[in-house]
Amino acid sequence: MMILFYSIIAILAIFILLVLFAPKRFNVYRSVIVDKPLDEVFQYLKFIKNQDDWSPWKKKDPDMKQEFKGTDGEVGFIAKWEGNKDVGIGEQEITRIKKNDIIESRLRFFKPWKSESDAYLKVEKVTPDKTNIIWGFSGESKPPTNVFFLFFNMDKAVGKDFEEGLASLKLILENNY
């Protein structure tokens, strides 16, 4: 009986240590350079509905239900989705737009798990006809769910989707939508 008791105490102690030392924040981003002027790229990116053309998640569920609230391309616009197990249920709200610089949004996921994170699309002028696009998101995982990040590499998992989406975005922008 004492062996069982000490085993349970040891497991709890290990779990508490994991919670204390596991990462609590994540930040994933990728970038691509497109052969288009910055202002033209920014004008396309600020509209969330355009993400339907290049988002890897739209490709994972082309039949997802979508609902929109507000004026696309403006702060406060909300795009809601409900899809299959690959995309889940959630919404994206534009929270800040700085012309020819950055579009920030808040992602709220409801299923398969509840979480919130911040997303952004940033543009940087490389030359008059080339623009660097940085697509990323960051967030926080509160204890004890932060232990999950010890076994799941968010950068590797989501980074692959970002690379796929940016490759599609590059093709769209360079081929005039």
**Coil, helix or strand at residue 164:** helix
Q: Are 139 and 12 in contact (CB under 8 A)?
A: no
With bands split at pLDDT 50, 70 and 90, how would you rate the model's confidence at 28?
very high
pLDDT of residue 144: 73
Distance (Å, whole) CA 53 – CA 47:
11
pLDDT of residue 176: 83
Prediction pTM value: 0.84
Enumerate the β-bridge partners of residue 123.
133
One-letter amino acid identity for 110?
Answer: F
pLDDT of residue 79: 98
Q: For 80-116, write each residue's pLDDT tens digit.
A: 999 999 899 999 999 999 999 999 999 999 998 888 9
Distance (Å, whole) CA 37 – CA 131:
6
Residue 65 has a CB neighbour count (10 Å cut-off) of: 10
